[in-house]
Amino acid sequence: MKISLVEALTGFNRVVLTHLDGRGIQLNIKQPNGKVLRPGQVLKVPGEGMPKKKSDTKGDLYLVVDIEFPEDGWIKDDKALKKLREALPPPPTADAPPEDIEEVDFEPDADMDDFGAGSGDPRAGGAEWEDEDEDEEGGPQCAAQ
pLDDT per position as a tens digit, 39-90? 999 999 999 998 888 888 989 999 999 999 999 889 889 999 999 999 888 8
Q: Is 99's pLDDT higher than 70?
A: yes
For domain 2-68, which architecture applies? Sandwich (2.60)
Could you tell me the residue ranges of all domains in the chain?
A: 2-68
Three-state DSSP class for residue 13: strand
Longest dimension (CA), the chain: 78
What are the helix (H) ranges across 11-145?
78-87
CA-nearest of 29, 37, 58, 56 to 46 is 58
Q: What is the pLDDT of residue 46?
A: 94
CA separation for the pair 58, 21 (Å, rounded): 12
Give the residue, 27 or 108, on which the prediction is more confident: 27
